[in-house]
Amino acid sequence: MNIVFKPSEPADAEQIILAKADAFKEEVKLYGRGPTDKSPVEKEREFIENAQGNNFSYILLENGKKIGGVGVVDKGSGEFYLKHIYVALDYQNKGIGSRIMNFLDNQFPEAAIWTLETPYLSYRNHHFYEKHGFVKVGETEPGEDGFYLFLYRKIKKQ
């Protein structure tokens, strides 16, 4: 597979929303929440437009087709927050997530600490992040509907 990482542009926002909705279909069924094709495009566009600041957004292309993406926030002092990783359903379980993690390591060599949040029942996500060196460090408080997130951290070895 020839995958290219391209910085997202504001014009990509609508396609990103659709790609996230596809990638997270099962989670939306499970939790009754998450990215859908009705998610606000403007919010995604604002994140991309702040890419000149501390936000970084990339789309993944395979032969010109958008198949996924990643969003990162530079929190300063060597700490980075992994806002989202998504891969279209047809491309999952093909090593693309691992390629994303390698890309992030190369793209952000100054990252000493990575943090992220992932839903409590997303066992595949837990396994994936733990395989890539993340450790569960906490949980958010459950909401009224019982939904909560696991908090993960990865400290880069010096």
pLDDT interval class at 158 (50, 70, 90): low
Q: What's the pLDDT score for residue 38?
A: 79
Whether 126 and 136 have beta carbons less than 8 Å apart is answered as yes
Helix 41-49 × helix 13-23 angle, to 10°: 120
Domain span at 112? 3-155
CATH of the domain at 125: 3.40.630.30
Question: How many domains in the chain?
Answer: 1
pLDDT single digits (tens) 110-152: 999 999 999 999 999 999 999 999 999 999 999 888 899 999 9
The answer, yes or no, to whether residue 11 has pLDDT greater than 80, is yes
Q: What is the DSSP letter of 46?
A: H
Q: What is the mean pLDDT of residues 76-92?
A: 93
